[in-house]
Structure 1
Amino acid sequence: MLEQMAQSLSAFFLTHIFWVYAFLGVIFAIGLLQNLISAIQLPAAYAEMKRHSQAQDSETNWQLLISEEVMPMSILVPAYNEEQTIVANIRSMLFLQFPNLEILVANDGSKDNTLQAMIDAFGLKPMTRAHELTLPHAKVRGVYGSPAYPQLVVIDKENGGCKADAVNAALNFSRHPLYCVVDADSLLEPESLLRCVRPFMEEPERMVAVGGTIRVLNGCTVKNGRITKIDLPTKFVPLVQTMEYIRAFLMARLAWSHWNMLSIISGAFGIFRRDLSMKVGGWSSDTIGEDYDFIVKLHRYLAEQKIDYKMRYVPEPVCWTEAPEQLKVLRTQRTRWQRGALEVASKNKDMILNPKYGRFGMLAMPNNILVDVIGPLAEFIGYVAFPFLFFLGILDQAFLLAFLAIFFIFGTFISVSTLILEELELARSPRARDLLKLGLVALVENFGYRQLNSWWRIVGWWQFLRKVEGWGDMPRTGANDTKE
């Protein structure tokens, strides 16, 4: 029975052999183009790192710390059901090295004890605070301050249904010209803000946004909100995400920063100008990819106003975040990311190949379409079609090996090259065995994990077409943190 079906399918494909090879050629070309872009990104990332490296410059950070010229900053922390991590997160921010800082936590209608945990830990009391009503958000139920920590303000609001709503509420209450958005499950290194503020000090008229590196917190030792020991995760799921984060931030974002075409600054750790954020209407609530959408919104506004501007990614400042340890949770995250990317692409399709938006419209947006819209479909089809047609005898061995080389060998090469770049410039891995372990992960992820991710992106495509909404559950364990 199966043999007859195989023969029938083989006969069908042989009858339409021209279209079969044309289709396979398109899939092959898409993969080749993606890898070509990655190959171009590597030297660009290296050039950007050499040009703006702060790795060996701690003296400037000390001078900034005691300087009165540093631009004041607000940290905005959207929090929803973050009972396990919120206290450690706030503790870490209270000890950040920065001369003039305020911390605003927006409790977005949490259903757990997030608010009570903050009240108990920091002795919060109800307070009155003047604020703007410029940006829309869900109703504020109360505002709390801490007598012991006057720089801390907690805004308790009704659930707005998305992270952007909480960010807008905190932004209305903020008072400083710069603000930093940090996820409630994340920890900043002490010098992170000093390193990120430097581009604003160097080019105050042009710099509009700066992003830092996100690294996986799982496996590290945390005491009272501070990382005391850096280590790799012991479980495979967060370990492979460590490799993904290094590749995404250290190569791709450094390269696009070099070309001044950054498309995304992570909503888990980014610094922005408050005045521009108010002018563009704050963070949008109509997309699940609010951080991606916000950066594209800034590019649109600045290009339409013909304002000269720059955005930069700075690799040295690190924000440590808790990565999902269960595949079902990771699936929720990745399908949401895919939905968000498709929503932003659809919302801003008029910018694609539009010279009105300069290099961003002509180069960055088409790349985003290739990576976020076309790429997932082409990769998944390739995983299914190439082996299937080889099994039927339609595809010869040379073509199949070429496909595997593009999607596996070159992908591993890019990952390992990124690791080398990181170690040469930043030396983030404390032990040689960690580099070896990550190098092995870069190889192993191609056999099963990458295909699973490809399938999740297809699921995200399907959810986008069905107009599925919502974040899904992202449970936090806070397992890394210990109290003295």
Structure 2
Amino acid sequence: MIDYFSTFLTWFEYFILVFMLSYILFFLVLAVSSYLAIDKNLRLKYDLPKDLMLKSNQVLGISVVVPAYNEGDIIVDNLKSFLSLQYPKFEVIVVNDGSEDETLDKLIKNFDLKKVDFYYDEKVKTRRVLGHYKSTNPVYDKLLVVDKINGGSKADASNAGVNSSRYPIFLCTDMDCILKNDTLTKLVLPFMVEKKRVIATGAGIRISNNCKIKEGTIEEVRFPKKMFPRFQELEYVRSFLFGRMAWSRMNALLLVSGALGMFDKKIFFEAGGYWNESFGEDFELITRMRKLMHDKKEKFAIRYIAESLCWTEVPSTTKLFVTQRSRWGRGLVQTLKVHRKMFFNPKYATTGILTFPFFVFFEFLVPILELLGVIIILCSLIFLEVNYDFMLYLLLAVFLFFQSITLISILIDEFIFKNYNNLKEILILIIMSIIEPLIYHPINTFSYLRGYWLFFTRKQPKWGDMKRNGSLTLDLNS
């Protein structure tokens, strides 16, 4: 028995070595691609200047869709912030998803709303819509409120909002998100100037925890004080700059954040809208939209903007963090399972040959391999002599590589966007990156493994299970 285990351990060591070398090599490719994408994004001069767009009525109209469930504490100020976005042709659609607090009452009172006759074309099936409200005050003529029965998910509320929209492009966001004033202008530009048909765009997202917020706008960007938000700040910087920018350059982006995603409404409807049963509706939607375009054999693009355009609150406690990431883990395995026929399928071009396999091998399998590695190491300590040199060299190589990637991400972010107030905040972020493998990464890995387990054993929780954290609403489903 010991001999069999020893042979297995040897083969496992070789497998892990090859796997990690492949992982590192692929991330090097992503790093180079990301650098080129950021450089192009910063140097690119579009034919339509921002000032010209703000003064023109020939731009594409945009519908900003904002689902809301029990948002009475923040809805007035944050909605005013959405209504003040700088763009000549847009509307804001708030979907009251069966709120049990004063959300609808506050909307009616503060925005002078009256129920109106409205032609509702239900292109995507949702729970019953109870009515539409418009303001009698011309100041709020861009506002439309949709009141509906709770659908149990953000997806159902978002679908009702898109069904009610009038413009060909829509932006889906969350009520707790704070957007830069020029967000619409920057996200819609690729739709207007790209030669390929752009079906979605996204941009960087930052953390609003501890930021000074007044009347739905950020007065001062502040560095997170608590440990978990700091770790997530580090993760966001690395993933947005060295992940999604790279995939965007290769036109292989498979994920646009649910907190800030702009979409071609026609393609959205053709794809069937958000899937109400999905645990990760944003990831699953992009996968389905890409599949649709490949099936239609139409050239398309999904673009990502290097600049941070949105601030949102993130979990600040272990319990909230594990709950959120477990849902992300369920969404990952569910989407990969539902669309498994795309795996290494040349019919789906880069999506099937490159992106989908990456998510299977590196996003899905890594937590499982890490757990298996821990189990094997513990068994080896009991039954065999452990090759400590091999293990330590491998761990050190992986740590130094990802530490380099993280440091480069921090430096690029600070050099280009200057999001931090002083050197102390940058040094704190660097220290967090050093201790990340010891604290944050194991908890994150556990959360994803828990999500995989729950996918096969439990039902989807209702959207109403959201928690409150600080002054903003934390959407555990996003």
Pair in the same fold by TM > 0.5 = yes
Contact 2:315–2:469 (CA under 8 A) maintained in structure 1: no
Distance 2:51 2:152 in 1: 41
Contact 1:80–1:110 (CA under 8 A) maintained in structure 2: yes
Kindly report which structure 2 residues correspond to 1:356-435, keeping only aligned pairs within 5 A, or say none. Answer: 356-386=347-377, 389=380, 394-435=385-426
Report the counterpart of residue 316 of structure 1 in structure 2: 307
Q: Which segment is superposed worse, 36-45 or 234-243? A: 36-45
SS at match of 2:160: helix
Distance 1:403 1:143 in 2: 60
Cα offsets for 1:82-128 (capped at 9, x unmatched):
23332232121111111111000111112222222322332322222
Report the counterpart of residue 33 of structure 2 in structure 1: 44
Contact 1:380–1:451 (CA under 8 A) maintained in structure 2: no
Distance 1:218 1:201 in 2: 34
1:78 and 2:78 are equivalent in the alignment:
no
Q: Give 1:262's match in structure 2, choosing from 253, 269, 272.
A: 253
1:113 and 2:102 are equivalent in the alignment:
yes
For residue 321 of structure 1, what is the amino acid of its counterpart?
A: T
SS at match of 1:75: strand
Cα offsets for 1:398-449 (capped at 9, x unmatched):
1121232244332222211111121232222232222111111111111122
Contact 2:124–2:159 (CA under 8 A) maintained in structure 1: yes
Contact 2:229–2:316 (CA under 8 A) maintained in structure 1: yes
Contact 1:182–1:269 (CA under 8 A) maintained in structure 2: yes
| CA spacing shift, 1:379–1:31, aligned 2, 3 Å | farther
Q: Give 1:244's match in structure 2, choosing from 208, 213, 235.
A: 235
Q: Give 2:451's match in structure 1, choosing from 451, 456, 460.
A: 460
Kindly report which structure 2 residues correspond to 1:8-27, keeping only aligned pairs within 5 A, or say none. Answer: 12-27=1-16
SS at match of 1:16: helix
Contact 2:322–2:443 (CA under 8 A) maintained in structure 1: no
Contact 2:221–2:419 (CA under 8 A) maintained in structure 1: no
Unaligned runs of 5+ in 1: 1-11
For residue 87 of structure 2, what is the amino acid of its counterpart?
A: F
Percent identity (aligned): 32
Distance 2:439 2:375 in 1: 13
1:325 and 2:316 are equivalent in the alignment:
yes
Contact 1:331–1:456 (CA under 8 A) maintained in structure 2: yes
Report the counterpart of residue 126 of structure 1 in structure 2: 115
Cα offsets for 1:106-162 (capped at 9, x unmatched):
111122222223223323222222231211000011222222301111111111121
For residue 60 of structure 1, what is the amino acid of its counterpart?
A: P
| CA spacing shift, 1:121–1:240, aligned 2, 3 Å | farther
Contact 2:180–2:310 (CA under 8 A) maintained in structure 1: yes
Distance 1:326 1:471 in 2: 21
Report the counterpart of residue 96 of structure 1 in structure 2: 85
For residue 36 of structure 1, what is the amino acid of its counterpart?
A: L
Cα offsets for 1:361-391 (capped at 9, x unmatched):
1011000111332111012323443366357
Report the counterpart of residue 296 of structure 2 in structure 1: 305
Q: Give 2:172's match in structure 1, choosing from 171, 181, 192.
A: 181
Report the counterpart of residue 145 of structure 1 in structure 2: 134
Report the counterpart of residue 476 of structure 2 in structure 1: none
For residue 438 of structure 1, what is the amino acid of its counterpart?
A: L
Q: Give 2:286's match in structure 1, choosing from 269, 290, 295.
A: 295
Contact 1:79–1:107 (CA under 8 A) maintained in structure 2: yes
SS at match of 1:476: strand
Distance 1:318 1:384 in 2: 42
Distance 1:376 1:26 in 2: 15
For residue 312 of structure 1, what is the amino acid of its counterpart?
A: R
Cα offsets for 1:19-78 (capped at 9, x unmatched):
112123323433333332222211111100111227999x93222211223211000011
Deviation at 1:467, TM superposition (A): 4.3
Distance 1:61 1:385 in 2: 57
Distance 1:67 1:257 in 2: 28
SS at match of 2:239: helix
For residue 305 of structure 1, what is the amino acid of its counterpart?
A: K
1:69 and 2:55 are equivalent in the alignment:
no
For residue 112 of structure 1, what is the amino acid of its counterpart?
A: D
1:338 and 2:362 are equivalent in the alignment:
no
For residue 356 of structure 1, what is the amino acid of its counterpart?
A: K
Q: Give 1:474's match in structure 2, choosing from 436, 441, 466.
A: 466
Cα offsets for 1:175-224 (capped at 9, x unmatched):
00110000121110111111111111211652111011111110110110
Computed over aligned residues only, the root mean square deviation of the Cα atoms, in angstroms, reads: 2.2
Distance 2:233 2:44 in 1: 20
Contact 1:390–1:396 (CA under 8 A) maintained in structure 2: no
For residue 118 of structure 2, what is the amino acid of its counterpart?
A: R
SS at match of 2:385: coil
For residue 318 of structure 1, what is the amino acid of its counterpart?
A: L
Unaligned runs of 5+ in 2: 474-478
Report the counterpart of residue 345 of structure 2 in structure 1: 354
Contact 1:87–1:117 (CA under 8 A) maintained in structure 2: yes
Deviation at 1:228, TM superposition (A): 0.5
For residue 121 of structure 1, what is the amino acid of its counterpart?
A: N
Q: Which segment is superposed worse, 23-32 or 34-43? A: 23-32
Deviation at 1:460, TM superposition (A): 0.8
For residue 337 of structure 1, what is the amino acid of its counterpart?
A: W
Distance 1:445 1:220 in 2: 23
Give TM-score scaled by structure 1 length.
0.92
Name the count of aligned residue pairs: 470
| CA spacing shift, 1:475–1:432, aligned 2, 3 Å | same
Contact 2:203–2:309 (CA under 8 A) maintained in structure 1: yes
Distance 2:417 2:462 in 1: 34
SS at match of 1:312: strand
For residue 416 of structure 1, what is the amino acid of its counterpart?
A: L
For residue 267 of structure 2, what is the amino acid of its counterpart?
A: L
Q: Which segment is superposed worse, 321-330 or 396-405? A: 396-405
Q: Which segment is superposed worse, 276-285 or 225-234? A: 276-285
Distance 2:455 2:190 in 1: 37
1:440 and 2:434 are equivalent in the alignment:
no
Contact 1:32–1:406 (CA under 8 A) maintained in structure 2: no
Distance 1:444 1:363 in 2: 32
